[in-house]
Amino acid sequence: MALTRIELRIGGMTDKKDVQIIRQVLDAIAEIDAQDIKPGLVRLEYDSRRLDLNRVFVALAQAGEGYDVSMG
């Protein structure tokens, strides 16, 4: 398995509640192997052969908190 590492900036993510929401969203995506989540920043390792990164962007956008997601 070839893992890809990325960093995402998450606008609107400011506190522990947001970190928990983002963690729940990402935990639901099986192809994500590892994650480091801090307010405003997410680092991921994922299998790029099995996961289209757009799925991550859509899942975060649908979290209902108005997060603005961009590549770091």
Q: What is the average pLDDT across 59-71?
A: 86
Domain boundary assignment for the chain: 3-71
Q: Which helix (H) or strand (E) holds 45?
A: strand 41-47
Residues in the chain: 72
Which tens digit of pLDDT belongs to each residue from 7-48? 999 999 888 999 999 999 999 999 998 899 999 999 999 999
Beta-carbon contacts of 53 under 8 Å, excluding residues fewer than 6 positions away, are 6, 46
Give the whole-angstrom CA distance, residue 47 versus residue 63.
22
Residue 1 has pLDDT above 70, yes or no: no
Q: Choose which CATH entry (3.40.50.1100, 3.40.1830.10, 3.30.70.100, 3.30.420.40) describes domain 3-71.
A: 3.30.70.100
